[in-house]
Amino acid sequence: MEDNQNEQNTQKNNKLPYYIGGAIILLLIVGGLFFSLGTDSSDQNTNTLGESTQETSENDKVTDTNDPADETDGKLVEIEMQGGMYYFSTEEITVNKGDTVHITLTSEEGMHNIVIDEFNVQSDVVNEGEAITIEFVADKAGEFEYYCSVGNHRQMGMVGTLIVEE
Ligand SMILES: [Cu+2]
C-alpha cells in the first residue's frame, strides 16, 4: 500500500515537470507571440504618435515664430493720396523695412500715375476721379523718390519721398 502510494506519488512527481515544462513552453510561445505583436504595434503606435507629435510641435513652432515676425516685420501700411497738377497730396511717407505698403492714388485733376524705381513699382495711369493702388514690400532701407511719369509732371514737381527705416 505504502509502496503503491509512493509509486503513484513518484509517478505524479515525475510527470509534473513535463506539465510545467509544457505549460512554460506554451506560455513562452503564446507570450512571445503576444509580446512580438504587442511590441510591433506599440512601436508603430509610439512612432506614429511620436512623429505626429513632433510634426505638430514643429508646425506650432513655425507658426509661433512666423506670427510675431509678421506682426513686427511685415505690417501693412495703407496710404491714400491725391494727385493733381502737379503734386501728390502726400509728399513724404515713412514706413519700416519689411512693411507691405499699399498706396492708393486718386486723381483730382489730370492723368497721373505713381512710380518707385527702386521697388520696380509703376502703376497704371489714372484718369481724373479714378483711383489706383500700388502694392510692394519695402524690403530695403533708405530714401526713395516716388514720382508721376506722365508727361513732364515729375519735372514740374510731382514727386514725393518714401523713407524706409531699418
Ligand atoms: Cu502726374
Q: Distance from the CA of 93 to the center of ligand 1, in angstroms?
A: 18
Contact 103, 81 (CB under 8 A): yes
Distance CA 13, CA 5 (A): 12
Distance CA 161, CA 166 (A): 16
- Residues around ion ligand 1, judged by CB within 5 A, are 112, 148, 150, 153, 158
Q: What is the per-residue pLDDT for 101?
A: 98
Pick the CATH number of 74-165 from 2.40.50.100, 2.60.40.420, 3.40.50.720, 3.90.1150.10: 2.60.40.420
Q: Distance from the CA of 143 to the center of ligand 1, in angstroms?
A: 21
Q: Distance from the CA of 119 to the center of ligand 1, in angstroms?
A: 19
Q: Distance from the CA of 42 to the center of ligand 1, in angstroms?
A: 72
- pLDDT (tens digit, 0 to 9) for every residue of the chain, 166 residues total? 444 444 444 444 455 455 544 454 443 444 444 444 444 444 444 443 444 444 444 444 343 444 444 445 689 999 999 999 999 999 999 999 999 999 999 999 999 999 999 999 999 999 999 999 999 999 999 999 999 999 999 999 999 999 999 9
Stated pTM of the model = 0.57
In SS3 terms, 104-164 reads as EEEECCCCECCEEHHHCEECCCECCCCEEEEEEECCCCEEEEEECCCCCCCCCCCEEEEEE
Q: Distance from the CA of 122 to the center of ligand 1, in angstroms?
A: 12
Q: Distance from the CA of 142 to the center of ligand 1, in angstroms?
A: 24
Q: Distance from the CA of 54 to the center of ligand 1, in angstroms?
A: 56
Coil, strand, or helix at residue 95? strand
Q: What is the per-residue pLDDT for 76?
A: 97
Q: What is the per-residue pLDDT for 15?
A: 54
Q: Distance from the CA of 80 to the center of ligand 1, in angstroms?
A: 16
